[in-house]
Amino acid sequence: MMPKFETIKGVLFDLDGVITDTSVYHEQAWHELADQLQIDWQPAFAEQLKGVSREASLAVLLNATGHPNDYSAEQKAQFATEKNDRYLALLQQLSPAAIAPGMTAFLTALKAQNYRIGLASASKNAPFVLERLGLSDYFQARVDPATLRKGKPDPEIFSRCVALLGLQPAECLGIEDAQAGIQAINASGAVSVGIGAKDVLAAAQIRFETTAELTLANIRQQLK
Ligand code: BG6
Ligand code: MG
């Protein structure tokens, strides 16, 4: 059962691939690391790694070698650092111009109508990215991913974000571009809003092809 539009009081945002298209930079940085480690890049990795923490993403790549236990904890930490250095280098040009279409208007409308706004990103770089986009001030609550016991698809990050906003799950929309993220929102009891293709985000309760369609009027239409 979907709640009525009037019930919604808060919106929980994923960052990468929703607020800005940094997911392509994450993918490029992982791809470069895979090449360096002579791991065959599989097209399926792109969706599998979305929403997934740095450590869990590395585990996906190393599992593809068939001998993930050959790597020491120190080597794994080194690989994760190398990936992050590549990612940060790709972020050098990040500016408000990289905000996803319609996103500033959507955040402004939410703020003007007193919706509570939270950030539920798995990225430890999220504060830096929001700062570079000039969007930090919109978010009343942010979950620190370093404090999570389990990452997406576990609902913990969304449950914590709902609690930080002082709301109930059914009073919140969660916005995600990743399969793991939609699964996490659904398990938290919030209403899942997918941004992206239907075949990828079939589990989303509401779906828009791009952020340009993400408006309160369009959401109201879906929650009648
Ligand atoms: C998520 C991205 O938002 O953050 C993933 O979708 C990424 O691709 C994860 O692995 C962790 O990000 P970071 O910046 O902490 O390595
Ligand atoms: Mg994402």
pLDDT for 12-42, tens place per residue? 999 999 999 999 999 999 999 999 999 999 9
Q: Strand 172-176 relative to strand 116-119: parallel, antiparallel, unpaired?
A: unpaired
Please check whether residues 200 and 149 belong to one and the same domain. Answer: yes
Please check whether residues 49 and 139 belong to one and the same domain. Answer: no
Measure 109 CA to ligand 1 centroid, in angstroms.
27
Q: Which ligand is nearest to the CA of 123?
A: 1
Please check whether residues 82 and 123 belong to one and the same domain. Answer: no
10, two tokens: 């808060």
What pLDDT, on the 0 to 100 scale, is given for residue 187?
A: 98
pTM confidence score: 0.96
Please check whether residues 124 and 207 belong to one and the same domain. Answer: yes
The tens digit of pLDDT for each residue in 58-69 reads 999 999 999 999
Please check whether residues 103 and 214 belong to one and the same domain. Answer: yes
Please check whether residues 136 and 77 belong to one and the same domain. Answer: no
Please check whether residues 154 and 106 belong to one and the same domain. Answer: yes
Nearest-10 crossing angle of helices 23-36, 54-63: 40
The rounded distance, in Å, linking the Cα atoms of 123 and 146 is 9
The rounded distance, in Å, linking the Cα atoms of 71 and 32 is 18
Give yes or no for residue 56 having a pLDDT over 80. Answer: yes
Domain count, the chain: 2
Please check whether residues 68 and 137 belong to one and the same domain. Answer: no
Please check whether residues 170 and 72 belong to one and the same domain. Answer: no
What pLDDT, on the 0 to 100 scale, is given for residue 120?
A: 98
Integer angstrom CA distances of residue 208 from 54, 58, 67, 202 = 27, 30, 40, 11
Q: How many CB atoms lie within 10 A of CB 105?
A: 14
Atom 1 of ligand 1, residue of closest alpha carbon: 51
The tens digit of pLDDT for each residue in 175-222 reads 999 999 999 999 999 999 999 999 999 999 999 999 999 999 999 999
Please check whether residues 110 and 40 belong to one and the same domain. Answer: no
- Of 61, 91, 121, the last residue of a domain is 91
Please check whether residues 68 and 143 belong to one and the same domain. Answer: no
1 pLDDT tier (thresholds 50, 70, 90): confident
The rounded distance, in Å, linking the Cα atoms of 137 and 128 is 13
Please check whether residues 12 and 57 belong to one and the same domain. Answer: no
Write the CATH number for 145.
3.40.50.1000
Q: Residues 68-76: what's their mean pLDDT? A: 96
Name the binding residues: 14-16, 30, 49-54, 57, 83, 121-125, 152, 176-177
The rounded distance, in Å, linking the Cα atoms of 119 and 12 is 6
Domain hosting 57: range is 23-91
Write the CATH number for 44.
1.10.150.240
Name the binding residues for Mg(2+): 14, 16, 176-177
Q: List all residues whose CB is within 6 A of at least one atom of ligand 1.
A: 15-16, 23, 26, 49-54, 57, 84, 121-125, 178
